[in-house]
Chain A
């Protein structure tokens, strides 16, 4: 978790900024299926709940949560597909 999150270049990105709960979770599920194992997915979410939801989703589904970066009006959450 010492990676500088700002410097991450994701392999793919899903935009859930215009979606309330559970939109970001559903986008994350779709997005992770579209990247290869070991690749990084960015989830853009305007829902502050995602900061808790996405790590919990990762723990349950076996992917690696890297953390989030605050942007202008939304957060970028980073996940590595692990299986």
Chain B
């Protein structure tokens, strides 16, 4: 009889332990209703795709996070802002890379600007939002943007010359991996 009671208590304790472990697993590994995206390319068409997906996802997911790195970084430059004094290399990068979303080129059929211009005209005619409008839409929909600190440093950009996007922050790969690890979907564009 005593043995039985001890056995029952043991069993109870095991069930409690299991329950605690289950709760822990649920809390730590179930993905959140979130889409996270690496935006690497600086091509107009790819940026358009990234922002169409991001704004669309804002209507379907609880949270959407974009990480801008490498060639995508200059897309967030604000042409109206004057950057602080820079060294020679940073000035070169600043001069050679597109100054903002309006200056990006198509990856195909750019044709010295003719193709990109024609595409922009066509988009307007077909009611497709421009990249600048899509960025505004993303801001209005609560899409979060992080910019790679290392890319900024490499290219000599400072946060002062980026667009006034609500909540825009600089971050590193750790932040991206943290977000990606808890996301339902992850994209690299």
Q: Which listed residue (A20, A25, A29, A61) contacts B126, Cβ 8 A?
A: A20
Q: Is the CB of A26 within 8 A of B60?
A: no
Q: How large is the interface on B (under 10, 10 to 19, 20 to 34, 35 or more residues)?
A: 10 to 19
Collect the chain B residues with CB atoms within 8 Å of residue A22's CB.
Answer: 52, 55-56, 59
Q: Please measure, in the bound complex, the distance between the C-alpha atom of A57 and the C-alpha atom of B55, giving whole angstroms.
A: 13
Contacts of A5 in B (CB 8 A): none
For A19, the chain B residues whose CB sits under 8 A away are: 127
- Judging by beta carbons under 8 Å apart, are A20 and B60 in contact? no
Task: Report if A18 contacts B (CB, 8 A).
Answer: yes
Determine if A57 and B127 form an interchain contact, defined as CB atoms under 8 angstroms apart: no
- The answer for the CA separation of A57 and B126 in the assembled complex, in Å, is 23
| Highest count of chain B CB atoms <10 Å: which of A21, A22, A29 | A22
Q: How many residues belonging to A are interface residues under a CB distance threshold of 8 Å?
A: 16
Interface of B is mostly: loop
Least CB distance, B127 to chain A, in whole angstroms: 5
Which residues from B are CB-within-8-Å of A53? 56
Q: Is the interface of A mostly helix, strand, loop or mixed?
A: helix
Contact status B59-A20, CB under 8 Å:
no
A25–B60 CB distance below 8 A: yes
Residue of chain B at shortest CB distance from A18: B127
Across-interface contacts of A18 in B (CB, < 8 A): 127
A25: nearest chain-B partner, CB-CB: B59
CB distance from B132 to the nearest CB of A (A): 15
Given contacts A26-B137, A26-B141, contact A21 B56 (CB under 8 A): yes
Chain A residues packing against B (C-beta within 8 Å): 18-23, 25-26, 28-29, 46, 53, 56-57, 60-61
B interface residues (Cβ-Cβ under 8 A, vs A): 52, 55-56, 58-60, 126-129, 137, 141
